[in-house]
Every structure is written in structure tokens, then in C-alpha cells.
Structure 1
Amino acid sequence: MRIAVIGAGAVGCYVGGLLALAGHDVTLLGRAVHVDAIQAHGLSLDMPDGTRRIDVKAITRAADLSPADVVLVCVKSADTEEAGRELAPALQEGTVILSLQNGVDNAEKLSAVTGRLVIPAVVYVAVDMTGPGHVGYHGGGRLLIGTTPQSEEIASVFTQAGVPTIVSGHVMDALWTKLTINCAYNALSAVAQISYASMLTVEGVTGVMAQVVQECQDVAAACQVWLPETLLAQVLDIAKLMPDQKSSTAQDLKRGKPTEIDFLNGYVVRKGAEFGIATPVNQALQVMVKLAEKSRSVAKP
């Protein structure tokens, strides 16, 4: 299978790397710092059984993309529309596009830009880029994808490559659940630069997280998405499952990169405003991260 990965960061390199290792024709489109390293030494992927070095094509220009059977979009939410326009060279009549992104509306945005059906996906993996062309793995690794005529075939290919993939008619519910988890953890972990388990030892944190979850549940219900009543317990369990993990927002702040906070807590704030639902805790967390971004920008020489 010919597979193009648009936005080859940690998730894109992880999934694309395992697909390449399984013998598929994979092209990673990413930033020069990673592409140069991959071209020179291969992609390094840390796994529980050791580091794997994977030979895979890597490019920096979308114009160099070849026609693909499947395109995986893994860019930050702010870059979704631009990515949709860039992937045009990879599209042919039967090309399938998957959105492997945070947030709940990226598939819709990609579909609007490309004029194609886009399969939404929920990614359950903890990975980061530990260096140029080097992916660190911290747990998980499965995908949940929406239902389309091509979904079962794609799920089979991915599962055989070591990326367990399930097709679900409830993928939007799962995306909202993941959004809620991100809203509860990401900003707090980022501003304090603290891991999940340590975060929960601070007095008052679980109370704040409970308010975040309730606001998300209220907004989701207005969007005709019904999140489980036990969601708060699920959210708090994440700290037990990934005690040493810091959020992607924390990683972005540390590296001086723009965060996705406007598409996490900020999304809940915007949708809440549309329905007249107050979301003060989500808004406060969004503003905290925006202030942290501002302080780092001002501090740069």
C-alpha cells in the first residue's frame, strides 16, 4: 500500500514508521530537521523491545509527494486547511484520507478543503520526538477510525503492521472523550511543566479537572454528543496509566512551539458560546496557556 504522511511529527513518524517496517511504501512529509536525519540515518523508533531503525522515504516539499492509496494527516489543528491544500499531489481517484489529529472537527475541515470524504480517527498513543528523526514511545499505540467502505481494509493493514485499529460508528463520541481528557490535563501540565501523576497530588487540581469535565459534557450534549457519566473517573485514571507523561501542550511550550490550546479548551469555549453555555474554567486554562506562549515569545532575543 502506498501511504503518505502529512505532518511527520511524533504520531506521523510512529504510525508511518511501523507501516514502512511492515513493507508498505511510505513517504513522510515533515520538517527539515527530522527529514534530514531520516534521509541520512533512517527513522529511529524506540519501542519496549529496543530501538528500531527504519528505512523510509522522507521529504520536505508537498510538491514532491507521489500518488498515494492512503494519506494520513497528522499536522497540528491550526495547519489543517493548509495541509488539505498541500496533499493535492498525493490524491488520485481512490485515495483515502485519514485525520490523525487532536480536536473533533479536523476531518470536517479537511473534507471542505479537499472535496473528499475524510475518515476521522482517534489516536491512543504516547509518543514524542526525542531528537531529529527519533521517536520516543511511552505507551499505547491503537487507533479508532470512522466507518466508511474502505475502513475495514485500512484497519486490517494497520493492525497487521503493529498499529491495532478498530472501526467504530461512535468515533465522534471517542473524539469528544479524548478532547475532554486533553482539556483536563494539557493546560495544567503545560503551565506547571509537570507530569500527570505529580499534577494530581496538588490540592485543588482534581476539583478543577472535575469542572473542566462537566463543562465539556455540557457543551458536548448541546452538540448532540452524549459523554458517559463516568467520564471523570476515566479522566483521572489516565494519571495512573501514564504517570510520567507530560502533555503535548507542555512539550510544545517547552520547545517554544505554538500549542493547540485554541483547538482544545478553546474549542469548548467557542462552542459553549454558540449555545450560551458558560465555560469559565476551560477559558481560564486557555488564557493561562496563551499567557505562557506570550511570555516565551517576549523572552526570545
Structure 2
Amino acid sequence: MEAEDMKIAVMGAGAVGCFYGGMLARAGHEVVLIGRARHVEAIRRDGLRMEMATFRGCVPIGASTEAEAVRGARLVLVCVKSTDTEAAAAQIAPHLAPEAIVLSLQNGVDNAARLQARLGREVGPAVVYVATEMAGPGHLRHHGRGELVIGPLAAAAELVALFGGAGVAVEVSDNVAGALWAKLILNCAYNALSAITQLPYGRLVQGEGVEGMMRDAVAECLAVAQGDGVVVPDGMWAAVEAIARTMPTQTSSTAQDLARGKPSEIDHLNGYVVRRGAAQGVATPVNRTLHALVKLLEGRATTSADARLQRPH
């Protein structure tokens, strides 16, 4: 795999996809972002606007609304929401090159397996640690971090070199399942609470009783992971505490979804822990409560949107 002549496609170019696609494009790679029309139109017109502590500017980069834009790509980064995994697989399947490497850069722990089942080929799971948001059409705002953890794929060394050359640190782990669960636990601790309160992490953790609730949610997740035979890295609570320090101004992707009246990934975060806990007979009352509250808020957002559509103009 020659990194210098590799075409890279990003399926699902939201905040995560635009960050990694943008970093690779800045490093000189041919990248195409596949996303929603409003972002694609802005990117085609002005380039991808990247707002970072170390870089501010517009990056020329390919953009398309069509999944067939993955045609000819040697590397495909799947960054769609967990709720769209099967649909994305069906859309890209007819266009994937036989030698294409597919990486899942998604929240949740089972997306790579779900993609692999639909595509009939190896899909590498990647654990993403980055704080980003789309601040407007074609406008990426980066709040911090950006590293990836991947499994021991055949192309792992080349991927480390590829991303490293673009300023993205990549760790290869023999326990990627544990790393995926560690990320899931961070999401279960923060995402729902940030969504319910619409607060950034730094302010969220200062709330009365919040630390106790987060500790309980984490303990439930660890019990469920153990029941599934997953070895989660040590120091999980320290990792949870570090998020508020390293990303104090970040609101969760779930909070951003609710603020925009969009469905969230909560079924694949706290909801996943609740389902696995039920299957094992492990009680998950805090995760169940957080999941239920976010689902109520999602329903309220949908009801409000429907009401607006029904009002006479």
C-alpha cells in the first residue's frame, strides 16, 4: 500500500469524518468527503473550513453526496452514525475496490462487525478520541485531541505511517475490544448528561451529585463488559475524569443532535449497555435512566418539529 498515491474516501462526513479527512487532505492526499448536501455544497465552493488551535483556513478537498464516490478509494473511513451503519454498508458495497481497506471510526462497540457482516470483507475497528463539531455548512471546529486506536490489521503499519504523516497519532492494540469498550464507557458517562443539560463537560462535572451518578454509570458498564468477557484497560475512572480536563468546552455529540432536533446514537451507547445487561441479568439502573431521558427528549424534539410543520404560514 503506497500512502503517497492513495485515494481516501470518508463515508459520513460530519464532524469526525471532516476532521480526519481534512487532516489527510492537508497532508497532500486525495480525499473525498461523502456527506449531506449543505456541507458538500459549501466545501465544493470554499473548501473545508477548519478551525483549530494550530490551523485556521480552508482546505481544498473533494466532496460528494453520492456513495459511489468511494469508487477507486484504497482506504474508506466509515464515519456515519451507528443508526446508519447497515444503510451505509449497502450504499458503498457495489463501489468498493477489491483491495480497499475499510475502517469504522464510529461510536459504539459493534459497528465494525455489523459492517463486516454486510460487506463480506474485513472491516477494522478504530477507536476515536477527538472533540469536534460542525459549526456551520462545511465548517469544522476542533476542540481537542484526535488520536486513534486500531486493531492489528494487515495494513496497520501503513495506516500508522499514513495518519502519522498527517499529524494524527495511531496506536495499534491487541485488545481493541477493550479499547472500544473504554470509549463506550466514556460516552455512557458523559453523552446523555451533556445532552439532557446541554452543558459542556467542564461545567457538567461541577454539578451537585454528578460525580456519583457518573461513577455508578461507569460501574454498571464495567460489570456488563466483564459479563461479555471483555478486558477493559485499568484506570477507567481516571480516564473519565481526564475528559473534563482535556475537553472542558466540548458538548457531547448526543447534546448536539438533540439541540438540532436530530435522532441521536443513544441506543448504541447507554442503550447498548442496558440491552447487554438485560441479557446477562446485570442491573443497569443509571444507564437505563439516562437512556430513557434522552429518548424522551428526542421524542419531544420530533413532536416540536412536527408541530412547526403543521402550523399555518
TM-score for the superposition, normalised by structure 2: 0.94
Mean alpha-carbon deviation: is it higher for 58-67 or for 180-189?
58-67
Please give the alpha-carbon distance, in whole angstroms, between the structure 2 residues aligned to 1:209 and 1:71: 35
Q: Provide Cα deviations, 1:194-213, integer angstroms capped at 9, x if missing partner.
A: 11121122111111111100
Please tell me whether the aligned partners of residues 70 and 76 of structure 2 are also in contact (alpha carbons under 8 angstroms).
Answer: no
Please tell me whether the aligned partners of residues 200 and 206 of structure 1 are also in contact (alpha carbons under 8 angstroms).
Answer: yes
Runs of 5+ consecutive residues of structure 2 not aligned to the other structure:
1-5, 309-313
Match of 2:62 among 57, 61, 72: 57
Please give the alpha-carbon distance, in whole angstroms, between the structure 2 residues aligned to 1:3 and 1:35: 16
Match of 1:231 in 2: 236
Please give the alpha-carbon distance, in whole angstroms, between the structure 2 residues aligned to 1:266 and 1:22: 38
Match of 1:147 in 2: 152
Match of 2:80 among 39, 59, 75: 75
Please give the alpha-carbon distance, in whole angstroms, between the structure 2 residues aligned to 1:69 and 1:181: 31
Please give the alpha-carbon distance, in whole angstroms, between the structure 2 residues aligned to 1:291 and 1:253: 11
Q: Provide Cα deviations, 1:137-168, integer angstroms capped at 9, x if missing partner.
A: 10001111111111111111111011111211
Amino acid at match of 2:23: L
Match of 1:113 in 2: 118
> Does structure 1 residue 254 correspond to structure 2 residue 262?
no
Please tell me whether the aligned partners of residues 75 and 83 of structure 1 are also in contact (alpha carbons under 8 angstroms).
Answer: yes
Query: Deviation at 1:52?
Result: 2.2
Query: Deviation at 1:183?
Result: 0.3
Query: Deviation at 1:89?
Result: 4.2
Match of 2:143 in 1: 138
Match of 1:174 among 175, 179, 190: 179
Amino acid at match of 2:165: Q
Mean alpha-carbon deviation: is it higher for 109-118 or for 164-173?
164-173
> Does structure 1 residue 290 correspond to structure 2 residue 290?
no
1:155-234 map, 5 Å: 155-228=160-233, 230-234=235-239
Between the two proteins, the alignment pairs up a number of residues equal to: 301
Please give the alpha-carbon distance, in whole angstroms, between the structure 1 residues aligned to 2:173 and 2:232: 16
Q: Provide Cα deviations, 1:10-67, integer angstroms capped at 9, x if missing partner.
A: 1101101111121211111100010000001101111213412111110001134422
Match of 2:24 among 19, 30, 39: 19
| CA gap 1:164/1:228 in 2 versus in 1, 3 angstroms | closer
Please tell me whether the aligned partners of residues 127 and 148 of structure 2 are also in contact (alpha carbons under 8 angstroms).
Answer: yes
CA RMSD after TM alignment: 1.1
Match of 2:104 among 90, 99, 104: 99
Segments of 4+ moved more than 3 angstroms: none
